[in-house]
Chains A and B, each alone.
Chain A
Amino acid sequence: MDFELPDDAAALIETTRKMVSDLMPHEPEFQKTGKVPAAVRKVFRDNGFFSLAFREENGGMGLGMLEICCIQAELAHLPVQFWADVKSSQGPQTKIIEDFGTEAQRQATLPAVIAGDLVMAFCLSEPHCGSDVSAIRTRAERTGDGWRLNGYKTYVSNGIKAGQAVVAAYTDRSKGARDGISLFLVPADAPGYKLAGILELMGHHTPGVAELAFDDVDLPAEALIGEEGKGLSYLMHGLNAGRLAIAGTSLGMGEMALEEARRYAHERPAFGGTLSDFQAVQHMLADMATEMRAARLLMLDAAWRYDRGEVSRSLCAMAKLFCSETACRTVDTALQIFGGAGYVRGQRVERLYRDVRVTRIYEGASEIQKNTIAREMLRD
């Protein structure tokens, strides 16, 4: 049995680590202004970060989930806003276009996404429903030779600056979610497409997520992605990869907090020594390190199997569940080690404390992951 990362993955991670460490000094300025310095996006654009997940024939690097999760864990050391666009280039909105879209839809989006010029939004959640996809109210009705879209979407990451959106809507409610939901590619400049509101968040606090309204948006027949009524299966298609990627995000945040706490405990003078002299603090660090290591191994195993074609809903759910829960605990303990200093705006652990919390919620809350794991266990 070999626990070493493949050479390619190791080289990609190493380079990402170097870039991340060079970008870290931009954090204080960002914490002050809330604006992502232009240099950050340039580094990601110049070094191919928007192409990671796409297949080679579409101009991408065709990386597997092992590489993507590990790269994501490195990026997650930086403020979320630095890499949010990179993450969105790997999200369901682009993967669905790549896997199920028409050639015209691919041409209209993928090259611009890969070049770092286009951000796409994914519109699924609505004010009254999240994980319960079947409850969406957005609908698309046939018109003469196209569709008319009506509905309201919320928690749209990157919705503020998206140029194109993938929108889930019922095309035939009588067929239920399984056969009645379809996906549409909607350009942000379509008449009736409106940025209806911005939700400020606890973490990821600027620029927030968008609420988008679709009022009688007329779409041509070609706006339909894949086949009519297959929306739910397309959504499910990218589910496991999405969960693995969040395992990577939360893992990176937890590991960053652990490193911050280790360094601080070592430096902070206390009672004639340093914090790290105290066994209570040593045990905290030992627990954090052990749990984060377990989380990393669980993620690596799930991602490695995924790339080998052994896609297991249960393993992906376990990785997402454990990495996010563990990362939240680790960040919390890190803040405890920092004491008052960790509660101060501008401190990295304070930022991580706010940012990490959502990893237990989005891409399926922890409770949903447990449902999945139990269902797979109890399946006949």
Chain B
Amino acid sequence: MKVLVPVKRVIDYNMKAKVKSDGSGVDLANVKMSMNPFDEIAVEEAIRLREVGKAEEIVAVSVGVKQAQETLRTALAMGADRAILVIASDDVHTDIEPLAVAKILKAIVDEQQPGLVLCGKQAIDNDMNATGQMLSALLGWSQATFASELSVDGDSAVVTREVDGGLQTIKVKIPAVVTVDLRLNEPRYASLPNIMKAKKKPLDEKTAADLGVDVAPRLEIVKTSEPAARQAGEMVPDVDTLVAKLKEKGLV
């Protein structure tokens, strides 16, 4: 079975996001970018499936700007076999919307014929949480979202999902789209030798136009603003005062 893993280049989770002065979005110029952490978990899961003999080939795909090839190199260094970059913009500030990404991924799936698409449940930049679901709808495939456990057996996959109120276990037919949650696994590092070897692995480039997908945004961003600054705390001299204050505020 071939596994397709879409990975997104996003602002590094350690970076403090700053809003552009014109309010049109987050400033991404000269900011450290990394692979979306949920996508790292998806890559790791694909590698584990290959390690237990349930997957033969792992193809990483990224949609976005040319620089996303760095993200793909990371996926290759972790263990993906080859990569496909779909260039859909030349401006790092243009975020390709979920529906356009899903359409592009559908075209890639049609071409690559994977048995499983493993996506992060959402990207940490815009938190849309939509691409995997849209892709499964476009493909007419089963979907299992928010996976915290995954096992593949024959032509089905058993997925434990993190849902409100607990865990739900479902069985889906393969081919399927599975979106992964935080607790599925702990991704490995890209080892130093594998970082060097990743340079020699194949990375194909296409454009959204090659695939016939219109990526023009359907959403208009009206305004982006920073969250309100946190108010400074108050120092209290002792525990008694602390308790009194908490009572006063009705917190205990």
Contacts and interface: CB of A to CB of B under 8 A. Distances in A.
Contacts of A15: 77, 189-190, 192, 195
A12 B199 contact: no
A358 interface: no
Interface string A22-58: 0000000000000000000001001111011000000
Interface residues of A, number: 17
A11 B189 CA distance: 12
A46 B70 CA distance: 23
A2 interface: no
Contacts of B195: 8, 11-12, 15
Contacts of A12: 192, 195-196
B196 A8 contact: yes
Interface in B173-219: 189-196, 199
A11 B193 contact: no
Contacts, number: 38
Contact of A18 (B189, B193, B194, B199): B189
Contacts of B199: 8
A61 to B, nearest CB: 6
B8 interface: no
A50 to B, nearest CB: 10
B73 interface: yes
B192 A52 contact: yes
A61 B189 contact: no
B193 A51 contact: yes
A46 B79 CA distance: 14
Contacts of A333: none
A15 B74 CA distance: 10
B35 to A, nearest CB: 12
Interface of A is mostly: helix
A61 B190 contact: no
Contacts of A11: 70, 73-74, 77, 195
B189 A19 contact: yes
Given A8-B199, A11-B73, A49 B189 contact: no
Interface string B126-145: 00000000000000000000
Interface in B48-85: 70, 73-74, 77
B189 A47 contact: yes
A28 B191 CA distance: 26
A206 B23 CA distance: 55
A46 B191 contact: yes
A61 B198 CA distance: 13
B143 to A, nearest CB: 32
A311 B107 CA distance: 53
Nearest to A62: B196
A366 interface: no
A240 interface: no
A129 B7 CA distance: 58
A276 interface: no
B178 to A, nearest CB: 26
A294 B194 CA distance: 32
B241 to A, nearest CB: 18
A67 B73 CA distance: 18
A8 B74 CA distance: 11
A47 B192 contact: yes
Nearest to B197: A61
A249 interface: no
A61 B73 contact: no
Q: Which of B70, B74, B192 has the most CB of A within 10 A?
A: B192
Contacts of A46: 189, 191
A359 interface: no
B12 to A, nearest CB: 10
A51 B190 CA distance: 15
Contacts of B73: 11
A16 interface: yes
A47 B193 CA distance: 7
Q: Which of A43, A48, A71 has the most CB of B within 10 A?
A: A48
B198 to A, nearest CB: 9
Contacts of B70: 7, 11
Nearest to B74: A11
Interface of B: 70, 73-74, 77, 189-196, 199
User: Which A-B residue pairs are the 7 nearest by beta carbons?
Assistant: A47-B191, A48-B193, A48-B192, A48-B191, A11-B195, A47-B189, A61-B193
20 contacts: A7-B70, A8-B196, A11-B70, A11-B73, A11-B77, A12-B192, A12-B196, A15-B189, A15-B192, A16-B192, A19-B189, A46-B189, A47-B189, A47-B192, A48-B192, A48-B193, A48-B194, A51-B192, A61-B192, A71-B192
Given A11-B73, A12-B196, A61-B196, 8 more contacts: A8-B195, A11-B195, A12-B192, A15-B192, A15-B195, A46-B191, A48-B193, A48-B194
